[in-house]
Amino acid sequence: DTTVKQNPRYKLARVGKPVNLICSQTMNHDTMYWYQKKPNQAPKLLLFYYDKILNREADTFEKFQSSRPNNSFCSLYIGSAGLEYSAMYLCASSSWGGSYEQYFGPGTRLTVL
Amino acid sequence: KTQVEQSPQSLVVRQGENCVLQCNYSVTPDNHLRWFKQDTGKGLVSLTVLVHENDKTSNGRYSATLDKDAKHSTLHITATLLDDTATYICVVGDRGSALGRLHFGAGTQLIVIP
């Protein structure tokens, strides 16, 4: 099974409320990524986990948190959602030292009201 | 600064026609280039990956070329079908490992009409 699953597929949130998005894969990939994609813009890397090590992009460092309780799961957490967080959030996974392949999930569309 | 530029931004073709999508980039180093298809509301699906200078790949009705000297790639779709309606995204990887950075284009929106 080479699929990456994301839950939920659609999420409505109120301004100021927390948001938690979930991603899972069963390919035993050691690296998992979260991207933010807004309409007519390229996906933007937010952070990635290599094994248990979290790497967050400098310009989004304080806006997003993540946890990876085991190899298969990775979450993206927004402590206090703002209108600017409305976007599609894509999760991907890959294997260190393997091919160039990053497997992408279907995305979670977050709308903040 | 955008390092991967795709053109055209959008394209409308009739079913059965051929089309060509362009990707120009300035990413350095440019380890590999991949074309993805994204159906509305769905995830990215890899169509093909190009690695070497002057690579050419073919995957059914999709074929692609890469010119690393010119930092340019094309994706050809022959005999388009209605199901080809999607956004096509060019992605350049700067390393051949999982920790390499992927640089995404904004995509070309292809609409195939009957």
Tens digits of residue pLDDT in A79-105: 999 999 999 999 999 876 555 677 889
pLDDT in tens, A8-55: 999 999 999 999 999 999 988 888 999 999 887 888 889 888 888 888
pLDDT over threshold 60, residue B13? yes
Quote the minimal CA–CA distance from A112 to chain B in Å.
Answer: 18
Partners of B104 on chain A (C-beta within 8 Å) are: 42-43
Q: Which residues pair with B34 in a beta bridge?
A: B49, B91
Instruction: Give exposure, A64-81, as e/b (b: 16+ Cβ within 10 Å).
Output: bbbebeebbebbbebeeb
Q: Kindly determine whether residue B98 and residue A41, on different chains, have CB atoms separated by under 8 Å.
A: no
CA distance A67 to A74: 6
Of B41, B97, B107, which has the smallest distance from its Cβ to A97's Cβ?
Answer: B97
A105 has a chain B CB within 8 A of its CB: yes
Alpha-carbon distance values, B71 to A67, A90, B28, B57, B75 (Å): 37, 27, 10, 16, 14
Residue located via tokens 């690695």: B51
Q: Which among B38, B51, B88 is the top mutation candidate for probing chain A, defined by the most A β-carbons within 10 Å of its own β-carbon?
A: B38
pLDDT of residue B78: 96
Q: Kindly determine whether residue B97 and residue A107, on different chains, have CB atoms separated by under 8 Å.
A: no
Amino acid letter, residue B70 = A
Residue % of chain B over a pLDDT of 90 = 60
Of A41, A105, A107, which has the smallest distance from its Cβ to B106's Cβ?
Answer: A41
Half-sphere exposure of A2 (CA within 13 A, CB side): 10
